[in-house]
Amino acid sequence: MTLLFNCFLMISRAQQPVRKGALETVTISVPTVQCDECKDRIEKYLTREDGITMAKVDYKKKTCKVTYYWDQTTVENIKTAIANTGYDAGDVTADAEAYKRLPTCCKKPEDGGGHQKQ
């Protein structure tokens, strides 16, 4: 009986998908990015986070594409990391103190930031 149970247990485990180490990619809205400095700041910060393998910001489209290990971090953690650099990320608002430390060009136009159009 024990042998039969062990065989059943091994077969049932073999049918479940193994996702350990699997990569996922998500695109997050970053509506407050203004320039290359914003892009560089977010990309550098995110690539230092555990589980994130790639971060690519497109400041013209105001998006951030992130590839990460789903078993090491979550989309919410990634949004929070972006917010901790001073930028809004999806439904997560920028950390106020981090936003204050941003250079003027990286702040929202209503706060006197952004680049002047020529």
Cβ-contact 31, 88 below 8 angstroms: yes
User: Residue 4 has what pLDDT?
Assistant: 47
User: Residue 112 has what pLDDT?
Assistant: 85
Q: Which fold has domain 21-105?
A: Alpha-Beta Plaits (3.30.70)
- Domain borders along the chain are 21-105
pLDDT in tens, the chain (118 residues): 554 444 444 433 333 333 445 899 999 999 999 999 999 999 999 999 999 999 999 999 999 999 999 999 999 999 999 999 999 999 999 999 999 999 999 999 998 887 655 4
Cβ-contact 104, 55 below 8 angstroms: no
User: Residue 1 has what pLDDT?
Assistant: 55
User: Residue 111 has what pLDDT?
Assistant: 87
User: Residue 15 has what pLDDT?
Assistant: 37
